[in-house]
Chains A and B, each alone.
Chain A
Amino acid sequence: DIVMTQSPDSLAVSLGERATINCKSSQSVLYSSNNKNFLAWYQQKPGQPPKLLLYWASTRESGVPDRFSGSGSGTDFTLTISSLQTEDVAVYYCQQYYSSPPFTFGQGTNLEIK
């Protein structure tokens, strides 16, 4: 199984500042035939189900603010929130969906306001 490791586990950022969360996979999730990275990012606020933010590593889901962006390829990925808002306080997860199941998640990164 592909192991997903996020860093840091917890992060505190001031309002309006940039937040960066990293995700590393134990093997490449880049599919060479279509040059797509099989990686998604989710946001989970307390007491709510997760919400899809990005897929194919950098494609924003409809309705997601453009302050959320994704980058990276192969085994190393980053979720960036360009200017942190109060409503962005949440736990963030990466997930790989490369090849065959199981489609594993990272352990989560808890984002708070400094």
Chain B
Amino acid sequence: EVQLVESGGGLVKPGGSLRLSCVASGFPFSNAWMTWVRQAPGKGLEWVGRIKRETDGGTADYAAPVKGRFTISRDDAEDTVFLQMNSLKSDDTGVYYCTLGGTYYNAWGQGTLVTVSS
């Protein structure tokens, strides 16, 4: 059974940083492209960014609102994908989901809540 478990969310002041983690199990992680999607409170889904598998270059793509502030990385030895978030703004508040896939997403974690507030 595919499982994705996010962690690392919490309350942070504007301008601060957080690092989210997503531990995967139940599938060959090193073969997978992984994507982060977020959802502001009471709002819809927003694509954040994705990372390719290493055999496809291991590079990441980002949405415009987070480019230059967020970095996605992966540790295939630990079956984990990360989202490093710097220079956080109040607009970054929401639930962050780790998902399996580089295009459509057939597995989602339960999400981790990030609150950016002073």
Contact = CB atoms under 8 A, between A and B. Distances in A.
Interface of A: 1, 38, 40, 42, 44, 49-52, 55, 61, 93, 95, 97, 100-108
Given A101-B61, A101-B63, A61 B47 contact: no
Given A49-B110, A101-B61, A38 B45 contact: no
A61 B106 contact: yes
Contacts of B64: 1, 102
B94 interface: no
B47 A51 contact: no
Specify the main secondary structure of chain A where it touches its partner.
loop
A27 to B, nearest CB: 17
A44 to B, nearest CB: 8
Given A95-B104, A105-B45, A49 B50 contact: no
29 contacts: A1-B64, A42-B105, A44-B45, A49-B109, A49-B110, A49-B111, A50-B45, A51-B108, A52-B104, A55-B104, A55-B106, A93-B44, A95-B45, A97-B103, A100-B61, A101-B50, A101-B61, A101-B63, A102-B47, A102-B61, A102-B64, A103-B35, A103-B103, A105-B44, A105-B45, A105-B46, A107-B44, A108-B44, A108-B45
A1 B63 CA distance: 10
A97 B108 contact: no
B52 to A, nearest CB: 11
